[in-house]
A and B are shown apart, each in its own frame.
Chain A
Amino acid sequence: DTGVSQNPRHKITKRGQNVTFRCDPISEHNRLYWYRQTLGQGPEFLTYFQNEAQLEKSRLLSDRFSAERPKGSFSTLEIQRTEQGDSAMYLCASSFGLTNTQYFGPGTRLTVL
Chain B
Amino acid sequence: KNEVEQSPQNLTAQEGEFITINCSYSVGISALHWLQQHPGGGIVSLFMLSSGKKKHGRLIATINIQEKHSSLHITASHPRDSAVYICAVDDKIIFGKGTRLHILP
Which residues of A line the B interface, CB within 8 A? 2, 33, 35, 37, 40-45, 48, 89, 91, 93, 99-104, 106-107, 109
Decide if B103 is an interface residue (CB 8 Å cutoff): no
Q: A100-B31, A102-B33 are in contact. Are A42 and B95 (CB under 8 A)?
A: yes
The smallest beta-carbon distance between B57 and chain A, in angstroms, is 16
What A residues does B42 contact at CB under 8 A? 104, 106-107
Tell me, in angstroms, the Cα distance from A89 to B15 when the chains sit together: 31
Does A100 lie within 8 Å of B96, measured CB to CB? no
Tell me, in angstroms, the Cα distance from A93 to B43 when the chains sit together: 9
Residue of B nearest to A43 (CB): B95
Q: A42-B88, A91-B41, A101-B48 are in contact. List 16 more A-B contacts (CB 8 A).
A: A2-B44, A40-B97, A41-B98, A42-B86, A42-B97, A42-B98, A43-B43, A43-B86, A43-B88, A44-B95, A45-B93, A91-B43, A93-B43, A103-B45, A104-B43, A104-B44
Which residues of B line the A interface, CB within 8 A? 31, 33, 35, 41-45, 48, 86, 88, 90, 92-98
Residue of A nearest to B98 (CB): A42
Residue of A40, A43, A44 ringed by the most chain B CB atoms within 10 A: A43
Tell me, in angstroms, the Cα distance from A6 to B6 when the chains sit together: 29
What B residues does A2 contact at CB under 8 A? 44
Tell me, in angstroms, the Cα distance from A89 to B42 when the chains sit together: 11
Residue of A nearest to B40 (CB): A106
What B residues does A48 contact at CB under 8 A? 93
